[in-house]
Structure 1
Amino acid sequence: MNYIIFGGSGFIGTHLIHLLKEEYIKPNDKIYDLDLVMPGEEGVVPGIVEHNDGVQYMRMDVRKLIHFDIPTTPDDIVFNLAAVHRTPGHEDNEYFETNIRGAEDVTQWCEEKGIKRILFTSSIAPYGASEEIKYETTLPTPNTPYGISKLVAEKIHEKWATKEDDRQLIICRPGIVYGKGEHGNMTRLYAGLKGHYFVYTGRKDTIKACIYVKELVHFMMWALNTGKNGIYNCTFEPAFTIEQIVQAVESATGLKTWVPLIPGKLLMGVAKVVGPLGGKAVGIHPARVKKLMISTNICGKKLKNSGYKRRWGLEDSFKDWFEDCNRECLK
């Protein structure tokens, strides 16, 4: 059996490989990591780029036709994690080129090889930015190039799935994914708390749907092995507010800070001045400030009621991440 991971050298892919090696790999099974970035290189994708023994690495650009010839079996699983996703950070066309063309090329390769099982990591971005709660059945109204590209990619995978009755497709829409090697939202949050420069932007009750990366990959494998299909919002249920997340980080890591509440208009004005001068490095960027002020109110009841048993609560997940970093930091 083969585990074929497009985009496997990134943050989620690396944790998935760890889980496969620890709990799922049998003597004749193989793991393939197909990515633009190889172990030992400077990563152009966020996350961990490391070498794992027993994994076969191949440089792959999903924007081009895929020529990857291996003996496949009906039980093989393809994970399509390849994406351009960080916002802000890319030109509009980069999201469309990688996320849409990549979906077309991966599903075409699966068609040619007779693959019957795909797990695709999408995003909550197809829902669009608004305060209303979002369910898997909510009409997507993406308002960013990234969100639009991921919604189109979902439809491409769904088209592949409908061609044969015995095909399995799971689409995960994760909230903020955090854990060791993230280098994103939660890493900046911890650094801001530790450095005493994190502030609440206009409000403390902004809802930020999120999921621990280890929880996500455990759910992915559970869903595949229990025959699940369809779209799943991958978040805590109910989703937590930014104030609750801050309190969990502080409790898990032993930080004791005072976080001021700054009017949103004032902070946005500062971001417009500081952002072009290098504020992006610490999150003082107009696009990021705007994101902090809008809830990602995503309902995770479908996952909660699926039969999957969670392994970590919010504070527990930060404690586990802190242990992974030798109780020195969160990064």
Structure 2
Amino acid sequence: MNKVGGIFLFGGSGFIGTRLADRLDSKCHHFLIIDKSRSIKYPGKTFIADVRNALQVHAEVFPNSVIVNLAAEHRDDVSPKVLYDQTNVQGAMNVCDLARSKGVNKIIFTSSVAVYGFALLGTDESGAIAPFNAYGRTKWEAEQVYKKWQAEDPHKRTLVIIRPTVVFGERNRGNVFNLLRQIASGKFIMIGDGLNRKSMAYVENVAAFLEYSLDFKPGVHIYNYIDKPDFTMNALVKHVNKLLGMSSDIKFRLPFSVGLLIGSCFDLVAKIIGKKFPISTIRVKKFCANSVYESAVESTGFIPPVTLMDAIEKTVRFEFIEDHKIEQVFYSE
């Protein structure tokens, strides 16, 4: 790490952070991963620390550096719920305090489209803020913390806020992987009519845009991140079936009301026995909801390195056709 400059990746051991580190490493950028757990791929470039106590890395950070904050509590079922506030909001305060004390004038923050809640179709960066859960609420509150920091010296400080939709890709064990695994098993059950559309984001493209934003000038830059086109659930399932050499027909369907009832039953059992299940009311609602966003990313001149169709094929091949059993995986929503 140079004494002046460098890129500090809070939460850099995770899914997006590792992809971003790959890109930075390939171009010989000086970077340090700051995380609660050591990066498996970059152990020698990891400093063990928690964003809830960002000043632990005070001596490691130098003026003219860039802070990228990827650290977050993001699952639907985090307990106790105060962890959302401690990590997402207090963590933002801690990062800003660190930036102030070390003369850092550029912060890149990964927020989420969850700040919009169950958004109207085509919601862009000017959309109404209406989070429906603690994750979305605390991401929005964190954005306000960073905006306050930038406003203290607006002609020198750069703030980039990136709100990705659901991020998928090779090695991720989140909701998209669970969907793909169900389809690959041949036992997939469609809840609802399958006409709802979903915006998605490929991890390599998100990492590439984070890297691209390193060059943004002073000011506040807020972007949704989505890879187009948006698929209906029916079209996505049929496309994956085709990639796997299976019939494109969707064999099993349940009405939304029945799916919601099943989710409620799992919620009740989970509350009684204290065990978490992959099925819940909120997950059924999220699965059946439209989740379509628009973005001003194109106006920056950024071109995603991978098309969405290719990204889905790469992910399906990696996870269900090729053999990558010894590869590191990342668990998220």
Are the structure 2 counterparts of residues 71 and 144 from structure 1 closer, same or farther at C-alpha, using a change threshold of 3 Å?
closer
Determine if the alignment matches structure 1 residue 287 to structure 2 residue 282: yes
8 Å contact 1:11–1:182 — kept in the other structure? yes
Determine if the alignment matches structure 1 residue 21 to structure 2 residue 10: no
1:234-283, CA deviations, whole angstroms, 9 ceiling, x for partnerless residues?
002443322233234334444445423310111222233345379965x3
Q: How does 1:166-185 map to 2 (within 5 A)?
A: 166-185=156-175
Are the structure 2 counterparts of residues 65 and 213 from structure 1 closer, same or farther at C-alpha, using a change threshold of 3 Å?
closer
Task: Give 2:51's match in structure 1, choosing from 40, 43, 62.
Answer: 62
Q: Counterparts of 1:325 and 1:237 in 2: how far apart (Å)?
A: 22
Q: CA deviation at 1:326?
A: 8.4
Task: Give 2:232's match in structure 1, choosing from 241, 248, 270.
Answer: 241
In structure 2, stretches of 5+ residues that fail to align are: none
Q: Match for residue 42 of structure 1?
A: none
Determine if the alignment matches structure 1 residue 106 to structure 2 residue 100: no
Could you say what the CA RMSD is over the residues aligned between the two structures, in angstroms?
Answer: 2.4
Determine if the alignment matches structure 1 residue 95 to structure 2 residue 98: no
8 Å contact 1:252–1:315 — kept in the other structure? no
Task: Give 1:11's match in structure 2, choosing from 3, 12, 15.
Answer: 15
Q: Counterparts of 1:175 and 1:67 in 2: how far apart (Å)?
A: 31
* TM-score with structure 2 setting the length: 0.86
Q: CA deviation at 1:10?
A: 1.0
Q: Counterparts of 1:94 and 1:77 in 2: how far apart (Å)?
A: 26
8 Å contact 2:158–2:216 — kept in the other structure? no
Task: Give 1:296's match in structure 2, choosing from 287, 291, 294.
Answer: 291
8 Å contact 2:33–2:46 — kept in the other structure? yes
* TM-score with structure 1 setting the length: 0.86
Task: Give 2:265's match in structure 1, choosing from 250, 267, 273.
Answer: 273
Q: Match for residue 119 of structure 1?
A: 108
Q: Match for residue 34 of structure 2?
A: 34
Are the structure 2 counterparts of residues 88 and 36 from structure 1 closer, same or farther at C-alpha, using a change threshold of 3 Å?
same
Q: How does 1:210-225 map to 2 (within 5 A)?
A: 210-225=200-215
Q: CA deviation at 1:134?
A: 1.2
8 Å contact 1:322–1:329 — kept in the other structure? no
8 Å contact 1:237–1:299 — kept in the other structure? no
Q: CA deviation at 1:195?
A: 1.5
Q: Match for residue 302 of structure 2?
A: 308
Most deviating of 57-66 and 211-220 = 57-66
1:36-67, CA deviations, whole angstroms, 9 ceiling, x for partnerless residues?
1124xxxxxxxxxx2326x4212212223513
Q: CA deviation at 1:136?
A: 0.4
Are the structure 2 counterparts of residues 65 and 171 from structure 1 closer, same or farther at C-alpha, using a change threshold of 3 Å?
closer
Q: Which secondary structure state, in structure 2, belongs to the residue aligned with residue 172 of structure 1?
A: strand
Q: Counterparts of 2:239 and 2:286 in 1: how far apart (Å)?
A: 21
Q: Which secondary structure state, in structure 1, belongs to the residue aligned with residue 231 of structure 2?
A: coil
Q: Counterparts of 1:7 and 1:284 in 2: how far apart (Å)?
A: 27
Paired residues, what number?
Answer: 313
Q: How does 1:316-327 map to 2 (within 5 A)?
A: 316-322=310-316, 324-325=318-319, 327=321
Task: Give 1:80's match in structure 2, choosing from 66, 69, 75.
Answer: 69
1:118-148, CA deviations, whole angstroms, 9 ceiling, x for partnerless residues?
1100001110114443110112111211111
8 Å contact 1:88–1:287 — kept in the other structure? no
Q: CA deviation at 1:323?
A: 5.1
Q: Match for residue 204 of structure 1?
A: 194
Most deviating of 253-262 and 307-316 = 253-262
In structure 1, stretches of 5+ residues that fail to align are: 40-49
8 Å contact 2:239–2:248 — kept in the other structure? no
